Structure 1
Amino acid sequence: MTTAQRTPVDYTALAAAADEKAKKFQHAKGKLTARERIELLCDEGSFVEHGRFFGGDPAAGFLGSAVATGFGTVGGRPVAVYSQDFSVRGGTLGKVEGEKITDLIERAVQQGVPCFALLDSGGARIQEGVGGLSMYGRIFRASCRASGFIPQISLILGPCAGGAVYSPAMTDFVIMTRENAHMFVTGPDVVRAVTGEEISLDDLGGAEMHNSVSGVAHYLAEDEEDAIDYARSLLDYLPQNCNDEQACYAYTATPEDVESAMGVGDIIPDDPRMPYDVVEVIEALVDHGEFVEVQEHWAKSIVIGFACIEGRPVGVVANQPMHNAGTLDVEASEKAARFVRCCDAFGLPVITLVDVPGYLPGAEQERAGIIRRGAKVIYAYGNATVPMITVITRKSYGGAYIVMGSKGIGADYAYAWPRAEIAVMGADGAVNILNRRDIAAAPEEERVDVARKLADDYTAENINPNFSVETGELDGIVQPIDTRDTIAAALRALRTKHRDLNRFKFHSNGPL
């Protein structure tokens, strides 16, 4: 008796047919397909997919699962990528999809390579019930184990709802496209049914909301190409894993670099009350003026992002006087804290540029938990083991002086510009406490002038960097023109700073 022969399957033809179906489906919505996104992210021809037809059901018209997974290279560096396919069952997640994603993250950890998630999904597959839901738990666990060891970058390129939102929320960076990306735990229909509130999809979980209000997202992309380009840019500053050597790019100072560094002092007004854009200061100090800002639209009184100094990547934290005078509030504290923790997890030195009048006062901040949430930035700086260099450019008062990378909290080197104001509080507040009797004793018509004279005297005697230098809280006074060279020299001196490399990783980079 002869064994029946199975008809050979032309998987190449099946794949081509599935790709055409996906293009018609996605392009009609103004979106790329799952595999087109991978092609944009990875170097040409480098992506090797795992299990293309795993989970497929040809009889039902599905030639594979709703997610593509595999490894490729970005800028020549190996990376892991998974991309949800909305053209297959709405990109929903079931047992097969969960297994593929979990396996990919675990393999990325084993190989010590960054992991990219390209998300576009209708959520858990209802037909599979709790079995599908449970896969989210396994993905969460895998992501938690990877956190702090390998960089994880999520791109939201379509809907991301329900429990699925917590997967990108636990990664290091979340990028959303302006038009098509949405993230929410419960959609508008559920909100309306439960609370009676009428709210649009964009107002509830759109990209602009998450970039400017909630702080969930780190970059607002104009389109998918912009999102992927930003993701590639982030990777340029991050290592393969926490134990990997930091990147070092060839760098030769250009005349423009020299001119910018020499003119940095002209950017900041002498009047401590006058605003300026600290991003211009950062761009004047870093290589070629290239600064990749993170969370640009949220907690605007603080600026964070990546740059290079003499070809070596660094993280930059800076107060932004253009918004609330650069004060620290609950959101700015959390923004700075998570970024410092991220830099510390992946071995990036932290450069802190300080121009801060203090914490934002008021009952609203106290009720919002400024004590609890403000402590997070203290925890981040206080536990950091990477090289940390701080420059006070104009002023630094009170508790904000301590938490913004002071030597007391762990900075390796701290400097100030000659006219920097460093004190427990500003002159006006100080004389109102120290000299209130003298002011009250003056004739009423002279009290304003007396208070101003006392404030000027207090400023001349107490609000300057000299006392901090004499007590060892500052390593020196630097002229603005020498700031870049001073930072570069300090970084060179700290290149061999010892960190405990005996552990699997330094710490997780969970949301703070």
Structure 2
Amino acid sequence: MPDNKATKRLKQVSGHLAPKLPADYSDVRDQINTLRDIAATPDPSRRGYVRQKQAGKLWVRERLEQLLDRDTFTEIGSVSGTVKWEKTGPMREKPVSFVPSNNVQGMGRLRGRKVLLTADDFSLRSGHADGSTAGKTIYVEKLALALKLPVVKLVDGSSGGGSVTMIAKAGWSYLPYVPMYKQVVEQLNQGIPNLGAVVGPAIGLGAARVVSCHFSVMAADIGALFNAGPEVVKGATFEEDLDFQDLGGPMIHCTNGTIDNMAANEAECYEQLRTVLSYLPNHGKEAPPVIACEDPPDREDESLRKIIPRRQTRMYNPWTIIKSVVDHDSWFEIGALWGRTAIGGLARLGGRPVGIISLNCEVNGGALDAAGSQKLARLLKLCDVMNLPVLQFIDVPGYAIGTVAERTATMRWGVELAKAYFATTTPLFNVITRRAYGVAGGIMLGARDPVMQVAWPSGQWGSLPLEGGIEVAHRHELREADKVGKKAERYQELEEEYRRMMNPVRTANAFGVEEIIDPKDTRRVCCAWARHMYESLMPERLADRATGKIHPVFT
């Protein structure tokens, strides 16, 4: 009898010392599932969620569903956030409330391409850092470098930037370091695609993150971007009654070059992100993805013979040339609303991705201004880090002139463009469609040795256009002719003589231009060039990058 009592007592003590827990860890798995369910389920009673919907914005997890291929998202940090626990027994507890991290991160696929993704949840603390887990954003930036995977950033808030409530919570103020920026710069220069979309107010650090990307797009109906919001601006500059659109909406930042492109809405933003990624490699030590092409590389377009007017002052549509030469439906323009003296974007030739540069004769006569120079320099660097050969359609009368050009530092930015041309090593192919004059023309044409180019019969070139050039070179002669009332007659004689000598065939006779082609054959010539670049020179370029012989930089 005493032995039975002792055994029973030992069992009771043992039970207190080591409570029985499920052998399959189902208790821990249940906690994880509970937290994941809370994070993945919208709370219609939460003020932030209501505000998100009233603003016409998708909730963060709805965005993931709309952007990514179906059922491909794998979350990283799925239970990160702030939890309140309730003790339910010895060594047992359950979550009674959970505020998830307001930055959802993970991995998914865009048209089959594996990507890393980070998306702000503005409904939780407007995306400020005090609503997220420290180190989470930095981890994904580091992961992109380690895995060599593109990163997509959906910005709606401060993307982990600070707020004054952090001081109250911590009890002390902090120095505002930005520790993730080192990894961002490394990604940019290694050619790991960084693609960003502004799908709400992008504030402070959030603004910096999306502007840093290789490509950025803003949703016109809900997007805005600023260093600080209207209330902070009001206190600092006394500018009152500003809303998000007035302060930093698309008509500001999609027209000044801060954001590359504008989209009508979120859905169009995501389509642009998918499209841009389709031209880019996963990282700079890979070739851009080549796709099958049904557009014949030898397709001719006889309408190109007539597109350049014989009258020098008449304009034409430069996009018509681009779309005729590249693969059907492959043209994607970058920065259409800013730097409009220049045209830049991505396209394919025979299924092979290339960068496209052109001048826009419909704006400022095609004279390259400060903003146009900035746009082309940025595109050149993008193509360089992404191993994209560049096809140029040259019709440039030179850099912009006049008081506006001088006030906007045209020559300063023109020189920066020159640096970009000569600092990059990506192959260039020139099609001289009409004018190539001055420093701007010389830089665009001569940045590679040997040059690879052809000209059209409409080509004309020199140090200065005849308009103005004759006045400068023959000032005394024209002044004397004016005294006897024959200035106009003499000017016409000089112009006719110069135009006769500027016949492009004369330049070809002297081997000043290598070849003049029939414009209808432009696509065939350009596709042959692109094919050779990819099949013969791309392997050598990739080897040079792998061994450190060349170091393209985007920053």
TM-score for both structures, normalised by structure 1: 0.92
5 Å-filtered alignment, 1:317-466, equals 317-404=357-444, 406-410=445-449, 412-442=451-481, 443-461=483-501, 463-466=502-505
**Distance (Å, rounded) in 1 between the aligned partners of 2:488 and 2:370:** 34
State whether residues 154 and 168 of structure 1, in contact with CA within 8 Å, keep that contact through their aligned partners in structure 2.
Answer: yes
**Distance (Å, rounded) in 1 between the aligned partners of 2:456 and 2:175:** 56
- Which letter does structure 1 place at the counterpart of 2:252? M
Q: CA deviation at 1:146?
A: 1.0
Find the residue that maps to 1:287 and give its secondary structure.
Answer: coil
State whether residues 70 and 81 of structure 1, in contact with CA within 8 Å, keep that contact through their aligned partners in structure 2.
Answer: yes
Q: Deviations over 1:324-354 (max 9, x none)?
A: 1111011000000010110011100001111
**Distance (Å, rounded) in 1 between the aligned partners of 2:450 and 2:372:** 20
Unmatched tracts of structure 1, length 5 or more:
none
Residue 137 of structure 2 aligns with which residue? 101
Residue 493 of structure 1 aligns with which residue? 532
State whether residues 428 and 448 of structure 2, in contact with CA within 8 Å, keep that contact through their aligned partners in structure 1.
Answer: no
Residue 207 of structure 1 aligns with which residue? 250
Establish whether residue 246 from structure 1 lines up as the match of residue 288 from structure 2: yes
Find the residue that maps to 2:486 and give its secondary structure.
Answer: helix
Higher mean alpha-carbon deviation, 429-438 vs 88-97, is at: 88-97
State whether residues 93 and 132 of structure 1, in contact with CA within 8 Å, keep that contact through their aligned partners in structure 2.
Answer: no
5 Å-filtered alignment, 1:122-161, equals 122=158, 123-129=161-167, 137-149=178-190, 150-161=192-203
Residue 19 of structure 1 aligns with which residue? 40
State whether residues 120 and 156 of structure 1, in contact with CA within 8 Å, keep that contact through their aligned partners in structure 2.
Answer: yes
Higher mean alpha-carbon deviation, 414-423 vs 52-61, is at: 52-61
Residue 172 of structure 1 aligns with which residue? 214
**Distance (Å, rounded) in 2 between the aligned partners of 1:134 and 1:296:** 39
Q: Deviations over 1:104-157 (max 9, x none)?
A: 111111111110111111442433249997676112222112112201011111
State whether residues 157 and 176 of structure 1, in contact with CA within 8 Å, keep that contact through their aligned partners in structure 2.
Answer: yes
Unmatched tracts of structure 2, length 5 or more:
1-15, 22-26, 86-95
State whether residues 383 and 390 of structure 2, in contact with CA within 8 Å, keep that contact through their aligned partners in structure 1.
Answer: yes
Find the residue that maps to 1:237 and give its secondary structure.
Answer: coil
Q: CA deviation at 1:447?
A: 0.9
Number of residues paired by the alignment?
A: 505
Residue 3 of structure 2 aligns with which residue? none
**Distance (Å, rounded) in 2 between the aligned partners of 1:112 and 1:322:** 41
Q: Deviations over 1:65-110 (max 9, x none)?
A: 1111111111211111011111222221249545111111111111
State whether residues 328 and 400 of structure 1, in contact with CA within 8 Å, keep that contact through their aligned partners in structure 2.
Answer: yes
Establish whether residue 31 from structure 1 lines up as the match of residue 44 from structure 2: no
Residue 261 of structure 2 aligns with which residue? 219
Higher mean alpha-carbon deviation, 316-325 vs 9-18, is at: 9-18
**Distance (Å, rounded) in 1 between the aligned partners of 2:267 and 2:313:** 40
**Distance (Å, rounded) in 1 between the aligned partners of 2:526 and 2:252:** 36
**Distance (Å, rounded) in 2 between the aligned partners of 1:249 and 1:133:** 50
Distance 1:487 1:12, change over 3 A: same
Distance 1:231 1:408, change over 3 A: closer
Higher mean alpha-carbon deviation, 272-281 vs 17-26, is at: 17-26
**Distance (Å, rounded) in 1 between the aligned partners of 2:19 and 2:510:** 89
Establish whether residue 80 from structure 1 lines up as the match of residue 91 from structure 2: no
Q: Deviations over 1:171-223 (max 9, x none)?
A: 111111112111111333333333333444312211221011x2111111111
Distance 1:132 1:111, change over 3 A: farther
Distance 1:446 1:200, change over 3 A: farther
Q: Deviations over 1:438-467 (max 9, x none)?
A: 222225532112112211211211x34346
Higher mean alpha-carbon deviation, 178-187 vs 364-373, is at: 364-373
State whether residues 279 and 346 of structure 2, in contact with CA within 8 Å, keep that contact through their aligned partners in structure 1.
Answer: yes
State whether residues 432 and 456 of structure 2, in contact with CA within 8 Å, keep that contact through their aligned partners in structure 1.
Answer: yes
**Distance (Å, rounded) in 2 between the aligned partners of 1:29 and 1:196:** 26
Percent identity over the alignment is 27
- Which letter does structure 2 place at the counterpart of 1:144? V
